[in-house]
Amino acid sequence: MARLFTLDFLKTETASGAALGLAAVAALVVANSPLSGDYFAWLKSYHVLQIGPLILRETITEWIKEGLMAVFFLVVGLEIKYEILRGELSDPKKLATPVLAALGGMVAPALVYLAVAGGMGGPHGGWPVPLATDIAFALAVFALVGKGLPASLRVFLLTLAIVDDLGAIALIAVLFSQGISLMPLLGVLALLVTGAIWSGVRRIPAPFWVLGFACVWYLTVLAGISTSLTAVAFALIVPIRARTEDGQSPLKEAMHDLHPYVAWLVLPLFAFAKAGVSFAGLSLDQAFAPLVLGIAGGLFLGKQLGVFGAAWLASRFGVGARPTDATWLQVYGVSLLCGVGFTMSLFIGALAFPGAVDSPEQVEVKLGVLGGSLLSGLVGAGVLGLAGRRSRKKMAET
Domain harbouring 131, CATH code: 1.20.1530.10
By C-alpha distance, which of 149, 100, 67, 78 is closest to 331? 149
**Which of 104-108, 149-153, 308-312 is predicted least confidently?**
149-153
Q: Is residue 313 part of a domain?
A: yes
Q: Is residue 140 part of a domain?
A: yes
CA atoms in the 13 A half-sphere facing the CB of 386: 12
Alpha helices in the chain (DSSP H): 2-31, 36-44, 60-62, 69-85, 92-113, 119, 135-145, 151-175, 182-201, 206-223, 227-235, 250-261, 267-274, 284-287, 290-297, 303-316, 328-337, 342-352, 360-397
Highest mean pLDDT among 6-15, 54-63, 102-111 belongs to 102-111
pLDDT score of 80: 78
Range 330-338 average pLDDT: 96
Higher pLDDT, 7 or 260: 260
Range 332-345 average pLDDT: 92
Measured between alpha carbons, how far is 129 from 108 in angstroms, rounded to an integer?
Answer: 12
How confident is residue 7, by pLDDT bands cut at 50, 70 and 90?
very low
pLDDT score of 389: 83
Radius of gyration over alpha carbons of the chain, in Å? 21
Q: Is residue 168 part of a domain?
A: yes
Cβ–Cβ under 8 Å, residues 158 and 13: no
pTM of the model: 0.77
Measured between alpha carbons, how far is 42 from 35 in angstroms, rounded to an integer?
Answer: 11
pLDDT score of 356: 67
Q: Which residues of 24-33 are buried (b: 16+ CB within 10 A; e: fewer)?
A: beebbebbbe
Task: Name the percent of the chain lying above pLDDT 90.
Answer: 36
How confident is residue 260, by pLDDT bands cut at 50, 70 and 90?
confident
Range of the domain at 361: 2-177+226-392
Cβ–Cβ under 8 Å, residues 146 and 154: yes
Task: Name the percent of the chain lying above pLDDT 70.
Answer: 92
By C-alpha distance, which of 263, 22, 286 is closest to 30? 22
By C-alpha distance, which of 106, 99, 105, 109 is closest to 160? 99
pLDDT at residue 270 greater than cutoff 50: yes
Q: Is residue 135 part of a domain?
A: yes
pLDDT score of 305: 97
> What are the angstrom distances between the C-alpha of 16 and each of 61, 112, 190, 263, 274?
22, 30, 36, 5, 17
pLDDT score of 9: 47
Q: How do strand 46-51 and strand 54-59 relate by DSSP bridges?
A: antiparallel
By C-alpha distance, which of 118, 82, 73, 109 is closest to 8? 82
Range 91-109 average pLDDT: 88
> What are the angstrom distances between the C-alpha of 319 and each of 44, 92, 289?
49, 11, 40
Q: Is residue 397 part of a domain?
A: no
pLDDT score of 5: 44
How confident is residue 204, by pLDDT bands cut at 50, 70 and 90?
confident
How confident is residue 312, by pLDDT bands cut at 50, 70 and 90?
very high
Tell me how many domains the chain contains.
1
Range 258-276 average pLDDT: 86
Beta partners for 50?
Answer: 55
Q: Is residue 81 part of a domain?
A: yes
Alpha helices in 120-181 (DSSP H): 135-145, 151-175
pLDDT score of 34: 93
pLDDT score of 2: 43
Q: Is residue 31 part of a domain?
A: yes
Q: Is residue 206 part of a domain?
A: no
